Each structure stands twice: as structure tokens, then as C-alpha cells.
Amino acid sequence: MILRLSQLFVRTLRDDPADAEVPSHRLLVRAGYIRRAAPGIYTWLPLGLRVYRKVEQIVRDEMDGIGAQELQFPALLPKEPYEATNRWTEYGDGIFRLKDRKGADYLLGPTHEEMFTLAVKDLYSSYKDLPVWLYQIQTKYRDEARPRAGLMRGREFVMKDSYSFDVDDAGLERSYEAHRAAYVRIFDRLGFDYAIVKATSGAMGGSRSEEFLARLDVGEDTYVRSPGGYAANVEAVTTLAPEPLPYDDVPAAHAEDTPATPTIATLVDHLNEAFPREDRPWEAGDTLKNVLLVLTHPDGSREPLAVGVPGDREVDQKRLEGQLEPTTVEPMTDEEMKAFPALVKGYIGPAHGGRTVLGEESETGIRYLVDPRVVTGTRWVTGANVDGQHVIDLVAGRDFTPDGTIEAAEVRAGDPAPDGSGPLELARGIEMGHVFQLGRKYAEALGLQVLDENGKLVTVTMGSYGIGVSRAVPVIAEYNHDDAGLVWPREISPADVHVVAAGKGEELFAAAERVAEGLSAAGLDVLYDDRAGKVSPGVKFKDAELLGVPTIVVVGKGLADGVVEVKDRRSGEREDVAVDDVVARVTQVVRG
């Protein structure tokens, strides 16, 4: 097959698009692979579509390889199944909703658990029909709050989603392992540097859950690894709670004047000046920082929440949200704080002087959750709920009792892994795949039951497995580019070889044409730069580098001596090859 650049629907751009923040986005637009249609919504141009289809085919191969069956649901879906599982409500602003002419509600599917569950219920009724693994490669719609980096976080994107249906837990475990293994093969073939990490199951519910994160500095996920093999998304990291401490010798809590100390740093400085410790200086970690938030539940109701963390750590918004999903979280505004006169901004504490200010049973009634490190017997400096005053020697379990704990504090490099496997190291990545055991949540909500061996009705147990197929294209581009442009891996490149007719005259173009035809006849996909007229060899070379086909054949000056140049896009290595041998040589290079 030959794609002729003189006719191909593509325009390369010399300048970066103004809205592109990451290299893959810049280069995919500049090289004419994609165009923006609306925020977070993109068009695949012919070259981009070829790349996308190669990725899709790798995913399809491996899914077919484990015996999963492909089908396709509509993207436009009725509301009712999503109401049955409460996701019509839980998704909140996250989905696109629409009405038909009769006023009936529809949505554009953000993910399809409901539809798969109902399809199996529709067709199957016996344990003999199971297990069954079904998948689709389908466009999904999510009204993401922050679409970014082109196709990496789109509002329209393509996902491969598969679902397993089993009669029992052992079956689910086998289905999960088979999918996990297929994912390993897919991500190996796509050339990702990835980690498989523990995940929170979030809005989906269910139990065992892992993410495949491609290591990427521009990714939005942070994950941790320990020398002993612990790996988790920071959202899922659990904190090792210390043993409770004895507090018999701790003096009674006492409020002290700490004027103008609304921040942890000003407080610590003041403590060291006015109340120096004998053993060591005060540190931020000796203080208890209380952060006020407002939760919005899926049904729209709002609830204040106070979170207490050691003062040397920030509250990590993503970790917090991960624990509370699908509820959303915002900081409490000054206006909202006015409803609680007991709270003094900058000097908030759980209790002192006979008053309890935070907690469900307190004056404010605000639920109060603390970091797992705040165990019974730990001593804190925290707000006294009086302007310019803090309490010293406030003991957890003696002077205040939180309503519970929450994993909201930031995770730091060097923190111990919860399984004792050593200090944690942090890295950035982007979620490429997610496998998890849904269990019976959806089957229960939608009534998916089958008869077991004894003729008894049992609820089916499910797994759900997703891959971001369209996201994979920019991620591959992030891994495979240089200053001059894209550098596609062979299995994903839109063509096997890029032939450049570099020069003028009928003879040169005729020779280049023969080379292109010969390569095509040998079964290779050829991108042929046959542009004549004003397009100089320099422009053609630049475009070849930008487009990123891994092997470039230049038919140019050497022709007088009967040679053409074969160039490796990645290494830049060039060799002169006799025109008559070029098909054999390139075929050898391409086929490895």
C-alpha cells in the first residue's frame, strides 16, 4: 500500500498549537495526526487513525487470545439501568445527559457495567453458561472537570472494557488472573514502562483492584513502590498506625498565648521562642492541623467535615477524594464557617477548657476524622478555639476522641510501606488500565442470577477490566519522540517506511516511484513523499522527522551513483544502499 503525501489529507505545522501542554499533544497536532474539535474532544486524521487502529488491534488480539468475545453496546443509553445501580445520581456532573423528543432521559455511556450485566441476564440462566468473558472497544463520554493533554484526558475517548461473569469466587479469581495476564502482554507489546499497583475501587465498589500505570512525569497519578515489592497508587496507600502510647506522665493540657500564629510555621517559631522544649526543638509534626471541608453527596446534600493531620503534612486532595468517592470535597469557605461561631479561623482545635468543638457529639456537630497516626496517647499542640491561643499537651484519647480515622495526609518518600517492606519511593504515572473484582454489586442491583449445580438460584460474581485505547496513543508518543518529532515503534507506526523523493526532474521521481512500488509489492506500507514543485528537500526531511515513520529512504543525489540512503529515524544512522537492493534491505530492516 502506498500513501502519497501529495494527496494525503494532512498538513504539518511548523509551530506548536497554543493549547498544548505536553510533548505528545504538541507533536500529534503538529504532525497532522489529530485535530481538536472541542475541549477534550478530538478528530483522528488519516495518519492518526492508522496509529490508533494498530493500538486497537494489539488490544483486540490479546483479548481474543484469552477467549474473550467482542460485542458492542450503543454509546447512547437509557437512564433506567443506571438508576437501578444509583449511578445516574452518583455520577453527578461527570456524565453527559440528554433527552429525546418525548422527554425521556438518556446518557452517553461513561462505562458499561450495567449494559453487560443486563445482556448476560437476558441470554443466560445456568451455571453451565459460565464463565463468560465479554468485551467491547467503544467510545465513552465523561464530562471531565479538567480535560487535559489532548487525548490523555478527553471528554470523548475510547476504552476497551471487558467483564467476567462467574458463579463463584474461585471462578472470579481465575477470570481476574487471565485478564491481568492479558494486560501484561498488551502493555509489553505497546512498549510501556509500567507498574501494577494497588488501587482504591472508588465509585465501582468491589474488592481486589489494581491499576496499570505507565511511568510518565506528565501523568496525573502518583504511586509508591518499596524495595520489598509493595506498589500502590498514593490514593490506596494505608498508613501504619503506631501502637497507643502511655500518657500517665503527660501534664494536663494548657492553653497558651500564641499571638499572630495562624500558620504552622509561625506557630513552631513562636513555640521555640516562648515555650522551648528541653529534649529538642518543636517541629511541625508536633502540631495537629485541623482542616475544614464541605462534602457534597451524590444526592446533592452537603455535610461539613473536619480532618486532623500532623502539621508537617498537607492534606492530599486526591487521597481524600479517593476515600470519599463518589462524594466530592471542597474547602469550607469563610462564609460557610460563619455558621459555626465556635470555630476561630487559624486556631481550630478539637477540644479544650471543658468545650468540645469538633466531632459528631460536639458543639458544632461537625464529623471529625484524623490521620491514623493520631493514636491514643499522642500529644499535640493545636488550636484553642480562641483567637491567638493554642493548647499544648492535648492528648488523643484523654482530651479528645475523634469520630474515626481517614487516609488524607500526603504520602512522602521515605514513609514506611504498610506491609513492612521498606521505605516508599514516589513516582508519577498515568493510568492505562484497571482490573478489578466487582463482586456481586451489579448482579445484585440488576438481578443477575443463574441456577447452580443443585438447581438453586445464585447471584453471579463479576470482574471489570478497562484499558484506555485512545489514551495509549499519546502515551506511546510521550515515550517515543525527540526534538525533531515523533519516532514510532514499528508495530504502531502508520507506515513501515517513508520514501522521500529529494530533488528535481522526471528521472528522480520515476526512480523514487519504482522504489515505493517495489516496497509496497514486498508487502510493506509505504508513505511516499511525492510532492513536486515548491516543496524543497529540506521541508520534506523535516516532515519525515516530524511524522516519525521508523525507516526513511531518501532518493536523491546518490541516484547518479546508483544508490539511495536508508536512514533509521530513531538512531539517525544512515547507510547507502544500491537502488536495486533497497527493497531487500528495507524489508530486512522492517521485519527484523
Interface residues with ligand ATP (CB under 6 A)? 111, 142, 144, 153-154, 157, 159, 431-434, 466, 468, 470-471
The Cβ of residue 133 has, within 10 Å, a number of other Cβ atoms equal to: 21
Task: Kindly tell me the sign of the dihedral angle through the C-alpha atoms of 552, 555, 556, 559.
Answer: positive
The interface partner of residue 157, options being Mg ion, ligand ATP, none and the CB cut-off 5 to 8 Å by kind, is: ligand ATP
Least distance from ligand ATP to the Cβ atom of residue 434, Å: 4
Scanning residues 432 to 471, which ones bind Mg ion (CB under 5 A)?
434
CB of 140 or CB of 313, closer to ligand ATP: 140
CB of 93 or CB of 576, closer to ligand ATP: 93
The interface partner of residue 154, options being ligand ATP, Mg ion, none and the CB cut-off 5 to 8 Å by kind, is: ligand ATP
Looking at this protein, which amino acid is placed at residue 140? K
CB of 201 or CB of 258, closer to Mg ion: 201
Let me know if 411 is exposed, middle or buried by CB neighbors in 10 A (0-12, 13-18, 19+).
Answer: buried
Least distance from ligand ATP to the Cβ atom of residue 166, Å: 20
Least distance from ligand ATP to the Cβ atom of residue 211, Å: 7
The verdict on 142 binding Mg ion (CB under 5 A) reads: no
Give dist(CA 190, CA 186) in Å, integer.
6
Least distance from ligand ATP to the Cβ atom of residue 195, Å: 13
Distances (CA, A) of 583 to 131, 260, 528: 49, 79, 14
The residue at minimum Cβ distance from Mg ion is 434
Q: Where are the beta strands (DSSP E) in 86-230?
A: 96-99, 105-108, 132-141, 156-166, 194-198, 209-215, 221-225
The interface partner of residue 111, options being Mg ion, ligand ATP, none and the CB cut-off 5 to 8 Å by kind, is: ligand ATP
Nearest to 20 by CA among 9, 30, 12, 10: 30
Which one of 22-30, 127-135, 430-438, 523-531 is the stretch in contact with Mg ion (CB under 5 A)?
A: 430-438
Buried/exposed code over 464-498 (b: 16+ C-beta within 10 A; e: otherwise) = bbbbbbbbbbbbbbbbbbeeebbbbbeebbbbbbb
The interface partner of residue 415, options being ligand ATP, Mg ion, none and the CB cut-off 5 to 8 Å by kind, is: none
Nearest to 548 by CA among 479, 502, 501: 479
Least distance from ligand ATP to the Cβ atom of residue 156, Å: 8
The interface partner of residue 383, options being ligand ATP, Mg ion, none and the CB cut-off 5 to 8 Å by kind, is: none
Which one of 95-103, 403-411, 428-436, 529-537 is the stretch in contact with Mg ion (CB under 5 A)?
A: 428-436
Cell numbers given for 8: 494525503
Output the DSSP codes for 479-494. HSEETTEE---TTT-S
Least distance from Mg ion to the Cβ atom of residue 500, Å: 43
Look-up of cell digits 502493555: 187
The interface partner of residue 159, options being ligand ATP, Mg ion, none and the CB cut-off 5 to 8 Å by kind, is: ligand ATP
Least distance from ligand ATP to the Cβ atom of residue 62, Å: 15
CB 233 within 8 A of CB 200: yes
Least distance from ligand ATP to the Cβ atom of residue 48, Å: 15
Which residues contribute to the site for Mg ion (CB under 5 A)?
434
